[in-house]
Structure 1
Amino acid sequence: MSEPAVLLDVSESGVATLTLNRPDRKNGLNKQMVDETIVALESVWADDRCRGLVMTGAGTSFCSGMDLSEKILPDEMTFMRRVGHLCSLIHDLPLPVIAKVRGGAVGYGANLALCADLVAAADDAVFGEIFAERGLSIDGGGSWLVPRLVGLGRAKEIMFLAARVSGAEAGEMGLVNRAVPAAELDALVDKWADRLADGPRRALSVIKQQLNASFERSFADAIEAEAVGQALSFRSKESREGARAFFEKRSPDFRSC
């Protein structure tokens, strides 16, 4: 039997870690990896223990993009729609998702990382939007994600010129949330993941949904969505625990909810 292309672990604290596991190919994407990642994400979605997700890559790279040494199966359109479904699962997952990026995040791999809600990168990581250099157009949600992160003009510069952006540069331009020395990356992601896992699971899910829809809504629609969300939140166990913790001058225990 072949090695699993994806590893999934759920800690006692409810942090799920999804590891792309083809280190000999710098975690290049093939059909096996796509299929196994979709199964893993669906598993996280259905598992009530999970309170957050960390995505990372085994070995020295996050993901080197499509593994062009393998045939695209069963055909280009079917494969790319499966890839798109994978990205949508990350984007729509009702849990916070953190991408932990070290080494190369190239082509599809760059945009896979950007599908996460928070991206932490080593300052010497490399984000390579190299599609034009390969005679390809954009995939992995990059045409939607990158303009929203850095603006349309900068996005065109990055995509047209097949730019390679260091983790440090990505942090400065807002392509990623934080870039830190490689030795500090694990500690930063652990801190974020633990904080989110201890947070209000339902409220964080609604906040993620609202922010993801923000560019498609009018201000009036956003105000109405906030009213609906907050009206439901005020009636939740999380809200009651948050209020009790405030008056009792202690940290809220949202896990008890």
Structure 2
Amino acid sequence: MDGIDITHRDGVLRVGFNRPDRLNAVDTAMLVAAAAGIEDAATDEAVRAIVLTGEGRAFCAGSALSNMFPEPDHSILDAVNRLVGAIKEVPKPVLVGVNGVTAGIGCSFALAADLVLAKESAFFVLGFTDLGIVPDGGATYLLPAAIGRARATRMTFLSERVTATTAAEWGMISGVVADDAFDATLAEWASRLAAGPTVALAETKKAFAAAEGDMLRDALAREKAAQDVCMATDDFVEGTRAATEKRSPRFRGI
């Protein structure tokens, strides 16, 4: 699949976003392929752990602007939600390796994972409000749950860039390592997960999900309804046009 690499070795399924020239900005086809790969692993006994990462300077820079400008592709949100659901529901541990820029729905994928390891040089930025839309991919639930409402609001409303070190301190990710130690540490974590007690890990993941109840599912539905409202505004048109023209948007609240 163009833009997605899927490999399997030593019990670890590796799913990689592979459009480094676009900072791994994703389209619907990429999301569907990534979700299908993770879903298929649910019943594959040879897969004991899953790693989701990116190639080049980014983990995932969010949704490609071509999905939103000049006309929004509403199907991409369904694909985003499918991938988030796959990450959360597959009965195998999912480790996200954040190797660089992580923006928009890239943050949502990291938030949905069981473990997240980031390079020291990596950073996170939501950026949804810069486009005149709301966070999606479950971020409206997952982000406050991870770092608290005050920090989540600040990060969302101000489109604040958060370093990997700060993200680890806030509890948004599991760990951060020096750039030159990232590949080895990611491989070590994946190997430890693959060598772990698969039934116990699956049952623990299920227990965590049960404690969350329907909160994530409800958030995904609310986000989808809110995006429909936002994408019908002039501010959304201005936000996406400004992004393609590489300038600051001039929002009017209509």
TM-score, L = length of structure 1: 0.78
CA–CA distance in structure 2, aligned partners of residues 171 and 35 of structure 1? 29
Instruction: Report the equivalent of 2:41.
Output: 44
Higher relative contact order (CA 8 A, sep 6+): 2
Q: Partner of 2:19 in structure 1?
A: 22
Structure 1 position 68 matched with structure 2 position 57: no
Task: Give me the whole-angstrom Cα distance separating, in 1, the residues matched to 2:173 and 2:39.
Answer: 25
Rg comparison, structure with higher value? 1
Unaligned 5+ segments in structure 2 are 215-254
Please, what is the CA RMSD of the aligned residues?
2.0
Deviation at 1:76, TM superposition (A): 4.0
Deviations 1:45-104 (A, max 9, x none): 2321000001100111100101003468x9744321221111101111100000000110
Q: Is the 8 A contact 1:99 1:114 kept in 2?
A: no
Query: d(CA) in 2 for partners of 1:172 and 1:215?
Result: 23
| Aligned: 1:5 with 2:19 | no
Partner of 2:139: 142
Matches within 5 A, 1:168-179: 168-179=165-176
- Percent identity reads 33
CA displacement 1:164-209 (0-9 Å, x = unmatched): 1011111111111101111111122112111111111111100011
1:214 is displaced (CA, Å) by 2.0
Alignment-derived partner of residue 121 in structure 2: 124
Give the unaligned 5+ runs of structure 1.
Answer: 218-257
2-structure distance, mates of 1:52, 1:79: 26
User: Structure 2-normalised TM-score?
Assistant: 0.79
| Matching residue's letter, 1:18 | V
- Aligned partner of 1:99: which letter? V
Query: For residues 94 and 216 of structure 1, do their structure 2 counterparts lie closer, same or farther at Cα, with a shift above 3 Å needed?
Result: same
Match of 1:240 in 2: none
Quote the Cα distance in structure 1 between the aligned partners of 2:44 and 2:165.
Answer: 35
Contact 2:95 2:113 in 1 (8 A): yes
Q: Distance in 2 between matches of 1:21 and 1:45?
A: 23
Give the equivalent residue in structure 2 for 1:111.
108
- Deviation of 1:212 (Å): 2.3
Number of residue equivalences: 214
